[in-house]
Chain A
């Protein structure tokens, strides 16, 4: 059974802090994704990675960076958190081969920036 875990379910940070959100998957998936979810806006892709040390910007990368040093781990970094980054953050992974194309999601991290 595929498992995607995220380091925290709830996080409260202050404006200007550096924030790290960690995601780990145990299925040897090549692709990993970070989304933010806001009411009425659905899921919006922040960054994704299709291999170790490889990354591509998604639809809303501003204010975020990512790191993928190992295949199973994908980190989202908020260099200087702002209140407009208060949101639910979802990590997902998928295989790049085969015919499934399914993305597997973690439980999410609800981040509040005060």
Chain B
């Protein structure tokens, strides 16, 4: 069975500071990995995804993530955050063999302050 762990439930950061949101996955088979963002009172929106190829994936709004197979991680990073990045961020995975169903982590609340 798959599982996704987001170790930090909340991450406070000052505006213009860098941030890293951590995600680890466990699976006995190859996986696809995703980061979604949820702004207040909205549904989830895809930030970026790793399917294959380059392990550094760039997404929307200046975010990027690096797939590390040996450490089973897919951490999300942004070099300089903005107030508007305040949101909840979810990491998700799916097996490449049954790519329809996603397994989500418990989410990380990013709080950006001045």
Binding site for B on A (CB under 8 A): 4, 31, 33, 35, 40-45, 48, 50, 58, 90, 92, 94, 96, 99, 101-103, 105-108
- Chain B, range 65-114, C-beta contacts under 8 Å to A: 90, 94, 99-102, 104-107
Cβ of B17 < 8 Å from any Cβ of A? no
Residues of B whose CB lies within 8 Å of any CB of A are 6, 9, 32, 34, 36, 41-46, 49, 51, 90, 94, 99-102, 104-107
Which residues does chain A contribute within 8 Å of B104, judged by CB atoms? 35, 42-44
Nearest chain A CB to B80's CB is how many angstroms away? 26
**CB-based nearest B residue for A95:** B100
Task: Find out whether the CB atom of B43 lies under 8 angstroms from the CB atom of A108.
Answer: yes
Contact A42 B99 (CB under 8 A): no
Q: Which residues of A contact B102 (CB under 8 A)?
A: 45, 103
CA distance A40 to B8 in the complex (A): 11
Q: Is the CB of A94 within 8 A of B100?
A: yes
Inter-chain CA distance A48–B99, complex, in Å, is: 13
Taking a contact as CB atoms under 8 Å apart, the answer to whether A105 and B43 are in contact is yes
